[in-house]
Structure 1
Amino acid sequence: MKILHTSDWHIGRTFHGVDLLADQRRALDAVADMVAEHAVDVVVVPGDVFDRAVPSADAVRLCTSAFERIRAAGARIVVTSGNHDSPARLGAGASFAAAGGLHVFTTVAEVGEPAVMSDEHGDVAFYGIPYLEPDAVARELGVVSGRSHASVLDAAMGRVRADLARRDASTRSVVLAHAFVVGGEATGSERSISVGGVETVAAGAFSGVDYVALGHLHSPQEVEPHVRYSGSPVPYSFGERTHRKAVWMIELDADGLGDVTRIDLPVVRGLSVLEGTVDELCSDARFAAAEEHYVSAVLTDPIRPVDAMRALRRRFPHAVHLEWQRPAGEDVSRYRDKVIGRSDAAIVRSFVTDMRSAPSDRECALLDAAVEAAAAQQDSSTVDTAPAAAAETVAMSA
């Protein structure tokens, strides 16, 4: 049996405010094409199908289209809910969908009730473990004390092993789980699932099954030969710009896990972090390769540029983030040290210089007049403390 492991679609997610539905559609179309090309029997998706509990209508349509394309390509589908999904919404109509080859697991009650499929070697049991919030599911799983991700997952796997023990010894098993397993490497775009500071579970919790398809972490990685993350189909942070997105192709033979092959997904749109002045970024030939990428720009201009994003997007239409980096060597000592023993006018001028650039003579005259006016309005009881606050307000307005 050939199984394709993909996860963390996060349909409906935005990237620094940019709608990613078109990128996600292209990536999921590629998954469907792989199903047809490699004659895949089953596609497993362990969680975070959607990016939010209440997805938009467009996100739901894209998800439905992706399932339809995968099913039309010849594969059945097994899905679990992740920490971003609403179990009730994702699981709506699950029993009806199963008749059409889409098996959706979103409840604790279903953990020990697999979807069973067969090949020439016999049965394969697919167990879906949805994301388990310890406080919400501990009682149902019989966990009395020590409520943690590890304890509830251990209890869930106990149900899996109990069901396997009742089946024919030749039955092979695949578990889908959405969890942070020790040894996995986060990318920074995952939402924390920590409870009391502990969010990880040991890989040993999954002993006794042939393959564990994990979701939650966004880069493809092997925790153990039979325990793997597929990662997300497109990047969701600039920390993922060096990661090549992929899926795992698993082959089960008569004895269990056979070959596992990584298949890279096409790059929908690259990510680049560029550094330089606005003029350099907009004109230098060495940045040409990033013109169609999502761009995060680190600006090194000596003075904070005005309307820099507009200028950048003339060359990089997909620029989504920028920051100004104070030039190296500038005085960044503590504000308190800068104001001791200085006049209000000097404090204001220094503040404006630090935040923007040195004020012109005309601006200095305006600032001085504003400081004098602010000081004149202060009540005599607060005259010792007011000037610094007034100076900061005036400087920020300038």
Structure 2
Amino acid sequence: MKILHTGDWHIGKLVHGIHMTEDQKYLLDQLMDLIIQEKPDVMIVAGDIYDRSIPPVEAVEVLDSFLSEAVLTHKLKIIAIAGNHDSSNRVGFASRLLMDQGLHIHGNIRKVIVPIVIEDENGPVYFYPIPYGEPAIIREIYDDESIKDHETAMKRIISDIQANKPANGRHICIAHGFVMGAMEAETSESERPLSIGGSEYVDVRYFEGFDYVALGHLHKPQKVKHEHIRYAGSLLKYSFSEANQKKSMTMVDMDGSGSVTIKQISLNPLKDMRIIKGKLENLMDPKIYAGTNTKDYIMAILTDRGEIMDAIGKLRSIYPNILKIEREVFEREAGMMQTSAGHAFAKKSILELFGEFYENVSAEAFTDEKRDVIAGVMNALEQEGRAL
């Protein structure tokens, strides 16, 4: 069986005030081409279909158009679950009607996880959809006071599945959460924390009894300890912390014994999200930006020292989609940055105090030339009758 594992579409996402809907539609068109070319038997969307509980109209239209073509025209079976960004009630609306068309959308978590059974020439494959649920809700569903956090909630859900799953067949789990293995997972700024003041982590060992685990929530494509337990990653880069990530879709080929072969397939975004760094005049030099897509979403880190007038306006003339600008922080080579004027500051002149402050903030020497300029300003202010 060929399974296309995706997740974290975040349709309707705003990044630094910019609607990403056009970029998402461009990627979904490529995804449709991939579906036509690869002909998977099933596609998984492992949560965070939308970016917010009440998505904008444009986002709903984009998703409706994609799902309609995939299911009605290409007869693709789709299994999608709600993530922590989704409204479980809205995502799950009319799910029973859609099921007959091959579209299985699970919004609210239920006490009994009924598997979706899809057969191929080797027999049945059981898909267990576990939509995102807050631990307090899961504690109420199971009437189990031992459920305190995401870890204990998932442990209870998985143990019930394992106790009731058929001995034969192949078994795939679909979940949305922060699963941890032997190594720390790579996270992104655009991932909303699942828990404030409590643990959001789930141990990977609970999932080890499945033939494949399709995870959502983390935006970088990555495995969790085992090759068959994976995050597909997000559809697009949604923060500059993801600038160096390579986004992809995960194609899973499962044989009759449940063994899987993994292939990651990259898609090309309409506009990339990247970071550029250097002095303002260099970043605006045609020799520097030649051969790059200047319409990408840009974060610029400026290494200039001193004041710069309208830096973002100047950069926008070259990079129309610049979203963020930062100044590089220079540290003193001599060690820790001083926050006071040192010893005997009361005995020092204002010019001396200013000189120490300047060197601490700028990491540059307060030269005689600069000293003369500041002294001239101070003298002019004194002549105007301003007390220093």
Global fold match (TM > 0.5): yes
Contact in 2 for aligned 1:221/1:231 (Cα 8 Å): yes
Question: Counterpart of 2:365?
Answer: none
Cα deviation 1:324-372 (Å, max 9, x = unaligned): 2255559953156599436789878998999899779579746986954
1:149 aligns with 2:150: yes
Question: Counterpart of 1:95?
Answer: 96
1:303–1:76 CA distance, 2 compared to 1 (3 A): same
Which segment is superposed worse, 234-243 or 141-150?
A: 141-150
Structure 1 counterpart of 2:317, from 311, 314, 321: 314
In the TM superposition, what is the alpha-carbon distance from 1:287 to its structure 2 partner?
3.1
Question: Counterpart of 2:295?
Answer: 292
1:295 aligned counterpart, secondary structure: strand
1:82 aligns with 2:83: yes
Question: Counterpart of 1:22?
Answer: 22
Structure 2 counterpart of 1:240, from 215, 237, 242: 242
1:222–1:353 CA distance, 2 compared to 1 (3 A): closer
Distance 1:318 1:21 in 2: 15
Cα deviation 1:283-337 (Å, max 9, x = unaligned): 1512332523221111122223121111001111121111122555599531565
1:226 aligned counterpart, secondary structure: strand
Contact in 2 for aligned 1:31/1:70 (Cα 8 Å): no
Question: Counterpart of 1:170?
Answer: 168
Question: Counterpart of 1:185?
Answer: 186
Greater percentage in helix: 1
> 1:1-398 counterparts in 2 under 5 A?
1-71=1-71, 72-109=73-110, 111-145=112-146, 147-165=148-166, 169-183=167-181, 184-194=185-195, 196-223=197-224, 224-283=226-285, 285-288=287-290, 289-327=292-330, 329=332, 333-334=338-339, 340-341=345-346, 365=380, 372=387
In the TM superposition, what is the alpha-carbon distance from 1:194 to its structure 2 partner?
3.3
| Residue ranges of structure 2 left out of the alignment (5+ in a row) | 363-369
1:149–1:301 CA distance, 2 compared to 1 (3 A): same
Distance 2:141 2:318 in 1: 56
Distance 1:368 1:327 in 2: 35
Distance 1:311 1:361 in 2: 32
Q: Which amino acid aligns with 1:258?
A: V
Contact in 2 for aligned 1:132/1:153 (Cα 8 Å): no
Distance 2:156 2:326 in 1: 47
Percent identical among aligned pairs is 33
Equivalent residues, number: 370
Which segment is superposed worse, 10-19 or 226-235?
A: 10-19
Q: Which amino acid aligns with 1:209?
A: F
TM-score of the superposed pair, with normalisation by structure 2: 0.85
Contact in 2 for aligned 1:143/1:151 (Cα 8 Å): no
Cα deviation 1:255-282 (Å, max 9, x = unaligned): 2233222212224322332222211211
TM-score of the superposed pair, with normalisation by structure 1: 0.83
Distance 1:149 1:132 in 2: 9
2:215 aligned counterpart, secondary structure: strand
Distance 2:311 2:374 in 1: 20
In the TM superposition, what is the alpha-carbon distance from 1:163 to its structure 2 partner?
3.4
In the TM superposition, what is the alpha-carbon distance from 1:87 to its structure 2 partner?
0.5
2:101 aligned counterpart, secondary structure: coil
Distance 2:152 2:61 in 1: 36
Cα deviation 1:217-257 (Å, max 9, x = unaligned): 11111121221110011111222222211111112332223
Question: Counterpart of 2:367?
Answer: none
1:99–1:347 CA distance, 2 compared to 1 (3 A): farther
Contact in 1 for aligned 2:223/2:230 (Cα 8 Å): yes
1:345–1:315 CA distance, 2 compared to 1 (3 A): same
Contact in 1 for aligned 2:54/2:87 (Cα 8 Å): yes
Contact in 1 for aligned 2:175/2:215 (Cα 8 Å): yes
In the TM superposition, what is the alpha-carbon distance from 1:214 to its structure 2 partner?
0.2
Distance 1:121 1:48 in 2: 32
Question: Counterpart of 1:380?
Answer: none
Contact in 1 for aligned 2:130/2:176 (Cα 8 Å): yes
